[in-house]
Structures are given as C-alpha cells and as structure tokens.
Structure 1
Amino acid sequence: MSVLPELLASWGTAALHLLIQPYYYIAVIFLALYYRRQVVLERKLIHVKLHRWGQETWRAVWTGALAGLAVSAAAVALGITVTYPAVACIWAVSLVLMLFRVRYLCFAYSIGILGLVQFVLSFFPGSLQDGAAGTVAGAVRGMDIPALLILAALLHAAEALLARWQGPRLATPLFLAGKRGKVVGGYQLEAFWPLPLFVLIPAGTGIGELPWHPLLGGGLGLVSLPVIIGFSEMTQGMLPGRKSARTSGRLLVYSAVLLGLSLLADLWSPLTVVAALAAVLLHEGLSWYSALEERSLSPVFVHPPAGRKVLAVLQGSPAQELGILPGEILLKVNGVLLTGRAQLHEALRMNPAFCKLEVQNREGESKYLQRPIYDGDHHQLGIILVPDPDESITAAAKPSSIFSIIGMQAGVQQRGARPDRLGRAKKSQPAEPKQESAGADA
C-alpha cells in the first residue's frame, strides 16, 4: 500500500518531536520527585523504605509507554485529531491545575475546562482576535473537543487497567488520625504514569488520507502529545487490593460514560458542553463518593484485644517467606500471647534458633508457621504492625501539592501540636522516645 511508507515516516517524525519537546521530560521529572517524596514519607512514618524511587519511576515510564502506544493505536484508528497549539493549551491548563492539587493533573479536567472556555467564546465570535490573547483564543476555538474527550475516555480506561494491575503493590502504609481521635493504620494508593501519545493532525494539514475510513475523520500526519495519567486514593476501611479493584471498576464506568457522551457530541455539537461538564463533574463525583464510602467504613487496621495486627510486610523478608499477609493477626510468638508491641520482640528473643508463630488469617482461621533464625536476622520478621492508638506522628490529612513534592516535604504531622501565631505547627510537649521504632516492629 503506497500510503504505508508515509504513515511510518509520520510516526518517526512524531517520535522525534516527542524527544525534543520539554513536556515529556517535565512529566518524568515530576514522577521522580513524587516517588522520591514517597520514600521520604515512608522513612518518616515507618522508618523503613518499602519502595525505591528510581525503580518506581522506571516502572512508571515503561508501563506508561506501553499504555501510550495502545491508546495511540486506538486514537489513530478512530481518527482523533489535535493541533500543536491545542497541545500547548492542554499542557498550560494542566500545569495551572497542578498548582492547586496534584490529582487535578488529569487530561479530563484540562479538556473539560477548555471545552467550557470554547463554549463561552462561542458567544463572543468577534472578541479576542489580535495579539497573544487572540492566538490563544483561536487555538481554543479550533480544538475538536468531542474528539479530545474521546481520547480522555480512552486514557481513563488505560488508567483503570493500570490501577488494577499495579495499585496494590504501589500502596504506601500510613499512620492516620482516626474518626475518634485515635491513630489507625491505612494505605495511600497513588500512582502516575507518563504516556507518550501519537494522534493525527487535522486533514487539512496532513500529508494524505488514511488507508481506512476513520470514525472521526483525520489526516495522515501525526503529532506527539505527552500526558500524565494517575489516580489517588486513601483507605482505612479496605485492604489495598480491594480498594484498587473498586477504583478500577469505577474508572472503567466513568470512561464508558464519557466515551458515550463524547461520541454523541461528535454527532450533535450542542452536546459538547454537556460532555465537557460531565468530564469534570463526574470525575469529581468519583472522588466525593470514595471519600463518603471511607467515612462509612470502620477502620480495618486496628489492634484487637489479643494479638498484633499486621499493616504491611517487607519485600524479601522472613515474614513474606512465611506467607504472612497485611490484615492478618499475630496471636502467639514462641508460645507467648501478644498484647503489646514490646512482647513481640521479647518473644522473638526467647528462642535464639527457632521462631514459632500462631497467625490468624483474614477469615479468622488460625495457621501455624515456623522458621529457623539465622545469624544476621537480628530477630526481626520484616513486619510493620498497625500503630498504637497513641502514636505521636501521623500522615497529614491534606492532599499532596506540587510545592510539597518539589520541596520533599514528607507530609506528616505531630499529634497534639498547636498552631503558633504564624500558623505553623507548635509542639505542646516533646514526644517520649519509644523502645523500638515503628519500622522495626518485627
């Protein structure tokens, strides 16, 4: 087919353009800073490093690249088009939104807002024709909002699949202030992926027509559009796997609804503003409903009267080898019934050569585990226990901001701290040092 070499040349040109423009590198730098901050938070709260920021950044890059290629193939098949000025507008809106909250760094928010701006500009056709404002207004007026919202729906479908696949392993255990003032365990499920997208240039600027009939039209030339997708959830009432599964399912429903509305808007343009509003409001509705659901649930990660509940298990640790899972309860260690943190360490040191455990699984059934203790193990199992109700440090309740990520602020707060006259946290009393740090509970 004669058009195939031209199509491949367009892919090559778009890939080169992706490498020389700053947007993709900004996305990767943001991810590196975010995961570096995650490591700082883990060290501050639990005194161990569960994730490696370099490894997590690389994982996000290569899995995001695969997802980007899949979404790009679907976008090209549908004939979704975008222009270079539209790319600049999308990124400008995304960067501004990110200054308010990191979770606003979302393609649906940017396109939805630009769709609403386009709707407002349609009432003033003769305004903003000259200068820089005229250039921006012209770019917004020329955007194919329904097609871009279809692309947003495809991106959220990819986000849902990535959240389901990688969400549990990316979860960070936290110490959180509970509803009754006591400290409870919980998890933050937050991840981002940079996607290199390749979409079509409008037919008038392309070098030819596609060898198939696309649903939305579109020419043969391609343009690169790097975007960031991601999700952010926090839970006290569910295990990470269950929370990520629910989040994934709701994102899939959202993407299906947005896809349907956008396709209808492409057929009948007055529905464009409805689809743009739905892109923003339904997405906010997901966050609101998730928070409402969490408030209705009882905390999962609290200690029972007898035994110590497991919040997290370190990778490659003896506890992982034994098959101990988050949410299970250590009942006895070397025959000692556990009712406090110090008892665990004392029981582990009772037998210098062997460790016998009685563990209650999530279904309430007991299982018996044993393992020899080798030189260098330091009598530790690699378990992070649920915090005590009077733990002195908890994770901050406020959402992450771009400034806290750039500044490597850990996002923790001292319990019992009072704000001073400048609004800063002021400790009422210094915290008493504990015999063992939270990260070395076992």
Structure 2
Amino acid sequence: MTFVWLMELLKGTGKLLLHPLFYYFFFIAAYLGVSRVKRERQNFHTRAEDAFFELRQLLPTGLIIGLVLSVITIVSGLVIPFALVIVIGVMTLLLSIPVRARLLSPVYAVGSAFFVLIFTAGQDWGIPVIGKYFESIEDQIYPSVAILLALLVIGEGILIRTNGVKGSSPKLTKSRRGQTVGVHEVKRLWMLPVFLLIPGEVLEPPFSWWPVFEMGNQLYSLMLVPFAVGIQQQIQGKLPKEAIRMHGGRVLGLGVLVLAVAVVGYWFPVASIAAVALAMVGRELIYLVQRVRDENRPFYFSKQNQGVMILGVIPGSPAAKMDLQVGELVTKVNGIQVKDEKSFYEAIQRNAAHCKLEVLDTKGQIRFVQRALYEGDHHQLGILFVQDEKKWDSAAV
C-alpha cells in the first residue's frame, strides 16, 4: 500500500508539468519583476532587487506549505470534484487579466468557482469534453470544497507573514500637499501546489490515461494542482515589515474562522455556503480596512529635518553590509550633520576610503556603524531615500 501511495505521489507530481497554470504563474511573476524594476529605475535611477526576485520567491516557501496542506487534505479524505479543478483554472485566468496580484488570492478563484459549481451542478450544458464532469457532482462535495478554501486561506496568511516581508519595493509618490514622499509596495505572487483527491471514476476519456488507485472500494486519483496566492499592498504610515505581518496575521485569522464554519458544513450543508461567502467578504474587508487606515496615517517616509530617512537598501551594497535597515534615520556621515541628498553625498566625499555613520534606529536608539569603502562601491552606499523634487520629476519623465 505504501508503494502504491508513493507511486501515485510521484505520478501526480510529474503531471504538474502538464498543467498550463504552472507555466502561466512563472510568466506573471516575471512580469511583476520587470514592472517593479522599471518603476524603481524611474524613481531612483537604480533598482533595489533584480528583476528575477519575484521568480525566486514564486515556489520555495509555497512548496513547503503546499506539502503540509496536501498531507492534511489526503489524511482527512477531502474529495474534490474534477469539475472544480477546471473552473478554478478558468477563474484564475480571468482574475489575472487586470494584472492585480491581490485578485489572485485563492479566496476569489476557489470562492467564485464554488458558486459557479452550485449553479452548474447536475445541468447538461452541452459543453464538449468537460460537460459530463458537471453532471456527476453530488451535494456532499461542498463541505470538502469549503474546507479546502479555508486551508488555502490559512496557507495564504502564512505566506504573507513569512515571505511577504521580504523585499518590499520602495516607491516615490506625491502627498495631498504635492510634496514628494516615500511609500513601500509589496506586489508578489506565490505558487501553492496541493495534492487533491479526485474521484477516479469520473476521469473518462480524454483523461482515461490518468493513473487511479483503489481505497475503500472507491477509485481515486491524486492530482497536484497549482494554486495562485497573490498580495498587493501599499504601505505609507508604518514600517513595511510591521504592516505586512499584521496583514498576514489577519488573513491567517480569517482562515481559521472560515475553517471552523466549513467543518460544520458536514452536518449542516448551508454552513459550507456561509463559509465560502465569509471567506470572500472577509478577505475583501481586510484589504479595504487596511487601505483606509493606512491612507489616514501620516507618511512614515518623508523628509526629516534631523537626518536622511532610509527608504530602501540595495542588496549587496555597503549599506546592506553595514546592516542599515529601512526606516532608520542617518543623522551624521563622517561626523557631519546631514539633512538631505546633497549634504549626504558631500559628507561621503570627505573621506573616500572610510565611512562612519550615526544612525537613529526605528526604536529611537542611536548606534554607530562604519566600513571601509572600496573602488566600485555605490557612491551613496546603496541607500535609497526620498529624492529631491527636481530629480524625481526628471526621472519620471
């Protein structure tokens, strides 16, 4: 039996390469990376992370979380109709058209597919090839779908809290008073591959070649389905890591609440509908509340009289090697008080071989960092901060 399960897992993993969304998610991640680099170069004449950053973040953490969710779904015996897999794929493609990463949350793709399934189940729509998969859907599958959605929302919350804080992008914008200020934006896509138990008897031609196995006198197939998890959040009133972790925590809490309601669906089927509706409404409320609250806060990254606010740090630069952090305030460079870009640059040039900084950290504590400078090092240590008005306007042209 163990050998059979192992072979099914290997076959299911190999079939992932046949799923068109697997490649489509790579394309979207690449597009997000190129777009981010283009915007950063317009703002700062350089980029923070390279264009492949989003591609590197697409899979690793998602694979681990997906494996955990796969074990839960298989052990708990969640059976997902093949028709749902088809509709989720279609809804994911439709939601990706506006290229708004937040719409690629599993809440919207799986939630909308759930309601499509309710209205199409048992109907003969005359759709070639796939129409018969909708005719064979039974009511008892709805609690399984609601629980799957809850697990995916929990996985989304964990991804945002653990991986979303990595590499938020600095950005320049205008305040209501027309002043140049800084914000941070996280626009990320993850792939969450999850093994799903599919009723084997429904996989007739053209899917009859798909491997099936018997369990409890029933035929099943394991299918590794890639789910998209996206986040798009702009942060102006807090440190980006703090705001993103808080956002992820709220999504995680929503997932736990939806799971509790979804489990009740095994006894009261209407609870499954309530769970999916709660997930969709709750996810949208989390986004809207975060956006409204953040827009009502003063800009965290604005010009300061007592120093230069660090809006971003270029990876691998002298600033990164000195462990300078986003949100810290550089008050002195080589013993010289700095207040803007010009004075910062001039103070660095006072000693081309060595740099000593006095920094006010995010907790209000003063610390000193220093480092020898070498030929080829970034002339401004690799710090990104709020640009002068004229410089930003010329870069944005």
Aligned position for 1:253:
253
Aligned position for 2:134:
139
Pair 1:161–1:140, CA change in 2 (3 A): farther
Amino acid of the structure 1 residue aligned with 2:106: F
Residues 84 and 114 of structure 2 are in contact (CA less than 8 Å); yes or no, is this contact kept in structure 1?
no
Residues 163 and 244 of structure 1 are in contact (CA less than 8 Å); yes or no, is this contact kept in structure 2?
yes
Partners of 1:137 and 1:254 in 2: CA distance = 35
Instruction: Give the drift of 1:52.
Output: 2.5
Residues 95 and 105 of structure 1 are in contact (CA less than 8 Å); yes or no, is this contact kept in structure 2?
no
Amino acid of the structure 2 residue aligned with 1:112: G
SS in 1 for 2:215: coil
SS in 2 for 1:132: coil
Residues 167 and 240 of structure 1 are in contact (CA less than 8 Å); yes or no, is this contact kept in structure 2?
no
Instruction: Give the drift of 1:257.
Output: 1.2
Amino acid of the structure 1 residue aligned with 2:124: Q
1:54-93, Cα deviation, whole Å (9 max, x unpaired): 3541342233222222211111111112233321111101
Residues 101 and 187 of structure 2 are in contact (CA less than 8 Å); yes or no, is this contact kept in structure 1?
no
Aligned position for 1:21:
19
Partners of 2:331 and 2:307 in 1: CA distance = 4
Amino acid of the structure 1 residue aligned with 2:134: A
SS in 1 for 2:143: helix
The 5 A counterparts of 1:217-366 are 220-366=220-366
Partners of 1:140 and 1:231 in 2: CA distance = 35
Partners of 2:390 and 2:238 in 1: CA distance = 22
Could you state the TM-score of these two structures normalised by the residue count of structure 1?
Answer: 0.79
Partners of 1:252 and 1:336 in 2: CA distance = 46
Aligned position for 2:165:
168
1:383-425, Cα deviation, whole Å (9 max, x unpaired): 111234676459xxxxxxxxxxxxxxxxx9x5xxxxxxxxxxx
1:249-308, Cα deviation, whole Å (9 max, x unpaired): 101101101111211123211223222211211111111111122023221111212311
Aligned position for 2:205:
none
1:214-262, Cα deviation, whole Å (9 max, x unpaired): xxxx864212211111222110111121012101210110110111121
Partners of 1:306 and 1:32 in 2: CA distance = 39
Partners of 2:70 and 2:188 in 1: CA distance = 21
Gapped regions of structure 1 (runs ≥ 5): 212-217, 395-411, 415-430, 432-442
Partners of 1:301 and 1:98 in 2: CA distance = 31
Partners of 1:137 and 1:188 in 2: CA distance = 44
Aligned position for 1:112:
111
Match of 1:194 among 166, 191, 194: 191
CA RMSD of aligned residues (A): 2.8
Aligned position for 2:94:
96
Q: Work out whether 1:65 is the aligned partner of 2:63.
A: yes
Instruction: Give the drift of 1:210.
Output: 6.0
The 5 A counterparts of 1:25-64 are 25-64=23-62
Pair 1:27–1:352, CA change in 2 (3 A): closer
Partners of 1:309 and 1:290 in 2: CA distance = 24
Partners of 2:366 and 2:56 in 1: CA distance = 40
Amino acid of the structure 1 residue aligned with 2:39: L
Residues 114 and 140 of structure 1 are in contact (CA less than 8 Å); yes or no, is this contact kept in structure 2?
no
Residues 207 and 219 of structure 1 are in contact (CA less than 8 Å); yes or no, is this contact kept in structure 2?
yes
The 5 A counterparts of 1:366-381 are 366-377=366-377, 379-381=379-381
Partners of 1:131 and 1:95 in 2: CA distance = 22
Share of identical aligned residues, percent? 26
Aligned position for 2:214:
208
Partners of 2:114 and 2:129 in 1: CA distance = 17
Partners of 1:268 and 1:365 in 2: CA distance = 56
Pair 1:8–1:220, CA change in 2 (3 A): farther
Partners of 2:265 and 2:19 in 1: CA distance = 32
- Runs in 1 of length 4+ with deviation above 6 angstroms? none
Partners of 1:298 and 1:282 in 2: CA distance = 26
Instruction: Give the drift of 1:176.
Output: 2.1
Aligned position for 1:440:
none
Partners of 1:353 and 1:270 in 2: CA distance = 71
Instruction: Give the drift of 1:203.
Output: 7.0
Residues 330 and 358 of structure 1 are in contact (CA less than 8 Å); yes or no, is this contact kept in structure 2?
yes
Gapped regions of structure 2 (runs ≥ 5): 203-211
Pair 1:19–1:368, CA change in 2 (3 A): closer
Partners of 2:131 and 2:251 in 1: CA distance = 32
SS in 1 for 2:228: strand
Instruction: Give the drift of 1:115.
Output: 2.8
Q: Work out whether 1:148 is the aligned partner of 2:145.
A: yes
SS in 1 for 2:178: coil
Partners of 1:110 and 1:348 in 2: CA distance = 51
SS in 2 for 1:201: strand
Instruction: Give the drift of 1:331.
Output: 1.5
223-232 or 355-364: bigger deviation: 355-364
Pair 1:379–1:203, CA change in 2 (3 A): closer
Match of 1:129 among 119, 124, 127: 124
1:90-124, Cα deviation, whole Å (9 max, x unpaired): 110121122244321222212222333344457xx
Give the count of matched residue pairs. Answer: 385
Amino acid of the structure 1 residue aligned with 2:112: I
SS in 2 for 1:327: coil
163-172 or 46-55: bigger deviation: 46-55
SS in 2 for 1:242: helix
Could you state the TM-score of these two structures normalised by the residue count of structure 2?
Answer: 0.87
Partners of 1:379 and 1:203 in 2: CA distance = 63
